[in-house]
Amino acid sequence: MNPASRTFERVAPERVAKALEALKDVLKEGQVKRDEASLDAYARDESDSGVYPPDVVLLPEDTAQVSAIFKACQAHGVPFTPCGARSGKSGGSLPLRGGVAVSLERMNRIRAISSEDLTAVVEPGVVTGDLMKAVEAQGLFYPPDPNSWEVCTLGGNVAENAGGPRALKYGVTRDYVIGLEWVMPDGEVLRVGRRTIKGVAGYDLVGLFVGSEGTLGVATEITVQLIPLPRQVMTALVVFPSVLHAARGVSAVLAAGILPRCLELIDEVAVQAIVHRGSFQFPTGTGAALIAEVDGNTPEGVFAELKQLGDLCEAQGATQTLVAQDASQRDRLWAARRVISPALRALKAAKISEDIVVPRSKIPDIIEQLKRMGADLGLTVATYGHAGDGNLHANILYDGPSQRPLVEEALRRMLELTVALGGTITGEHGVGHAKREYLALEQAPALLDLQRRLKAFFDPSGLLNPEKIFPALKRS
């Protein structure tokens, strides 16, 4: 069954009214939005998995207000769903049962950056790109770089444990979060984690909360560790005759002990989509490409590594390695990478995008199997993304609603093929609403049951961000 087509029982409006009544001395007028445009804006995200308007949007400005909102919702039985930039790709912030959308967007201050301690303290509504720029201005580096970094927020990154191209070398959000101020589902405020780089006192609740997709509480303050900004970065476009050649190039680079900071794959369909949009000129004969980015502290070391990478790829059939000569060439390469998703969308009436991961050695296998599956079903499959760590964004392009059953079939087959190769159904987008009915492909019933009980341990009423992550229980 297509989760996106499901409807959910909505909360009774009078309960929402009672919760708002309880909050009337807590929130100012501009912090409560009930107009049609607002409800519509908070009804959707970037997952294409439906439109689910909340009954009201609340915009808290501090931790005490977040806590008060949670308490009021619990007291009156109102579902409540946290959100940030609503740029998520799995429906994690969709208010499926209506109720309250709790947007953290106004808590957007960078509270501290310490170049001595190599840490930063931010509010959840800070845009990821704003933090990046602020720390880079001090010679520091916050590596996690979800493609939506220009709009997404740190709070959303924490909820989804966001990754990005640089995850290959530098890891994902959870590798940088060391401490959280956390509002529990019942409104209690806790500080978990630490301000130091290392620490093992007590259970690692930071580890549990990061990536909990807004179902176990919400961060109202985030402490991240930073690293020194690498002084040299070089970026290249490596051109291949086909995606299989490119996939073999990825394997050869990693097997040789090179760890670029990014190694992004662009397949035939994605190349054509970029060209079609006029965003980038690929050399004639480009069947597929890699964007490789290497960093370090000396220009010689970085150039030597990129040169070796190019040589290894050429041994696998690459026809050219074009090194960006300046910042504007480099920006153009990355702009081409970022345009893939909208460019693919322009090729057909509709598309769905998955973020599967396979063990790195299985990258050529999965690409081949997905192409074959697409051919079997008569659907176009585009594969691109963070090939270096096995995390591929596999897109199915289709003509519209009439093809949706076929697409559902393709999606299920894709996820089954992924799991059969030892992979996972989501590398960085989360399960949320979009993939909950597929989690059982990967996780055993006992594990699903444990996690459902853990959710109930933290949120016995189940009012916080309901109907997410775990498959719906069959009614008997």
**Which residues ranging from 344 to 403 are in contact with a second copy (CB under 8 A)?**
357-361, 386, 389-391
Q: How far is the CB of 225 from a second copy (least distance, A)?
A: 10
Q: How far is the CB of 192 from a second copy (least distance, A)?
A: 7
Strand residues in 79-194 grouped as ranges (E): 80-83, 100-103, 110-114, 119-122, 140-141, 177-183, 189-193
User: Any idea of the CA torsion for 117, 120, 121, 123, to the nearest 10 degrees?
Assistant: 180
Is the Cβ of residue 125 or residue 390 nearer to a second copy in the bound state? Answer: 390
The answer to whether 446 contacts a second copy (rule: CB under 8 A) is: yes
Burial of 306 (0-12, 13-18, 19+ CB in 10 A): buried
Backbone angles phi, psi at 140, to 5 degrees: -115, 170
Q: Which one of 41-49, 60-68, 271-279, 449-457 is the stretch in contact with a second copy (CB under 8 A)?
A: 449-457
# chain residues binding a second copy, by CB under 8 A: 90
> Three-class SS of residue 291?
strand
Is the Cβ of residue 374 or residue 385 nearer to a second copy in the bound state? Answer: 385
Q: Which one of 9-17, 143-151, 314-322, 446-454 is the stretch in contact with a second copy (CB under 8 A)?
A: 446-454
* Contact between residue 143 and residue 176 where contact means Cβ atoms under 8 Å apart: yes
Burial of 288 (0-12, 13-18, 19+ CB in 10 A): buried
Is the Cβ of residue 19 or residue 253 nearer to a second copy in the bound state? Answer: 253
The answer to whether 460 contacts a second copy (rule: CB under 8 A) is: no
* CA end-to-end distance (rounded Å), the chain: 17
Q: How far is the CB of 313 from a second copy (least distance, A)?
A: 17
The answer to whether 296 contacts a second copy (rule: CB under 8 A) is: yes
Mark 199-238 with x for binding to a second copy (rule: CB under 8 A) and - for no binding: xxxxxxxxxx-xxx---x----------xxx-x-------
Exposure of 218 in the CB half-sphere (CA atoms within 13 A): 35
The answer to whether 425 contacts a second copy (rule: CB under 8 A) is: yes
Q: Which residue has the tokens 């990754």?
A: 163
Interface residues for a second copy in 180-199 (CB under 8 A)? Answer: 184, 188, 190-192, 194-199
Please report which residue ranges of 121-267 form alpha helices under DSSP H.
128-136, 154-160, 167-170, 205-209, 243-255
The answer to whether 51 contacts a second copy (rule: CB under 8 A) is: no
Is the Cβ of residue 27 or residue 358 nearer to a second copy in the bound state? Answer: 358
- Distance between CA 407 and CA 401 in Å, rounded? 9
Interface residues for a second copy in 123-162 (CB under 8 A)? Answer: 139, 160-161
Interface residues for a second copy in 78-117 (CB under 8 A)? Answer: 114-117
Q: How far is the CB of 13 from a second copy (least distance, A)?
A: 33
Q: How far is the CB of 40 from a second copy (least distance, A)?
A: 28
Longest dimension (CA), the chain: 69
